[in-house]
Amino acid sequence: MMIKEKWQQELSRVQLTEQQKINLMQTIDHSKRPKRHKNWTIVIAPIFVFTALFFLYLITNDPFVSPLNQASDPVTESYENEHSAEVIRRGKHVAIISLLLILNGVLATIVFFTMKRWQKPKIRNLRETVYRWRYLLIILSPFIISGIGSTIHIFEVDMQWLRFSIFMLINILQIVLLFYFARNRTGKVCCPHCGYSYSKKEQRKMVCKFQLELRCPSCRQKLFYSKKYRQIIGGLSMLTTPTIIFSSSFGLPISLTILSLAFYVPAMFFIVMPLYLELTEEEEFLF
């Protein structure tokens, strides 16, 4: 902290623009100040507890693990076989939902604690609160996962809604993974010529319109999308088609497919793609 305060005092005496001071302070933070990362791995440690308790719950509570009663009546025996098969299918769906919840929770926690893009006071306070109450959250999390499975079994949720839940969790997992591998974790997109910082609205506009010719609104110099960004944006754009095709394998009605895509597509364009936005002063060929 002494190093940071010293450099802040020095910066106050130097005649620089606010953007130059911000860029210089970020450089100082990354190079000079000792890094003190919170131990967010403690928060996601219960993944093993989730898995163990969930499968323990399945083994002790699901009737398909116990042997079927031998019945002389063929109708009764057929009904028991069908009921057992239905319970097995439901148990598999619950297991998949629980594991997807665990994966999404682990990756979302890592992103939440490492993404520097979200620096609003409310977000910082929420991070501090989560870290302070981490032990309580670790204790409660397995019971929450177990409660979800119990609720599905008690109320006998329709299989179609279980498949829809799995499909939505897979879409969320895609988005969380893209957050996890995001290149621009600070949310700063600047002009390489004059250092002009683009607002979030301007970033989303550049992503959605994808103009062939860009000019900085400050210095009016010509700008180009970087080679890496164009490659990534092409791959992200093509994710929508496999997602639509993949939905047919779940046997979902067209209304639920449209509902899931109404969430997935805007999230990709307005939230995920700006994380990969990068501008250069010279045009780079794709290949």
Judged by DSSP in three states, 280 sits in strand
Query: How many CB atoms lie under 10 A from the CB of residue 4?
Result: 13
C-alpha pair distances (Å), 111 with each of 115, 159, 181, 182: 5, 32, 9, 9
Sign, CA dihedral 41-124-26-114, equals positive
- DSSP class of residue 66 equals S
pLDDT of residue 68: 42
| Residues of the chain below pLDDT 50 | 1, 32-38, 62-72
**pLDDT value for 185:** 64
Q: What angle do CA 231, 232, 235 make, to 5 degrees?
A: 90
Tell me the β-bridge partners of 279.
225
Q: Which of 27, 19, 26, 25 shows the shortest CA–CA distance to 7?
A: 25
Cβ pair 272, 177 in contact under 8 A: no
Residue pLDDT, tens place only, 221-260: 888 888 878 877 777 777 767 777 777 777 777 777 787 7
Segment 121-154, tens digit of pLDDT: 777 788 788 778 877 877 777 777 777 777 776 7
User: What is the biggest distance separating any 2 CA atoms in the chain, rounded to whole angstroms?
Assistant: 94
Tell whether the torsion through CA atoms of 200, 205, 208 and 211 is positive or negative.
negative
Write down the pLDDT at residue 60. Answer: 56
Task: Give the SS3 label for residue 197.
Answer: strand
- The pLDDT assigned to 58 comes to 56
Q: For the chain, state the CA radius of gyration.
A: 25
Q: What is the pLDDT of residue 61?
A: 56
User: H helices of the chain, where?
Assistant: 2-13, 18-31, 41-44, 47-61, 74-114, 121-132, 134-155, 159-180, 200-209, 227-237, 240-248, 254-267
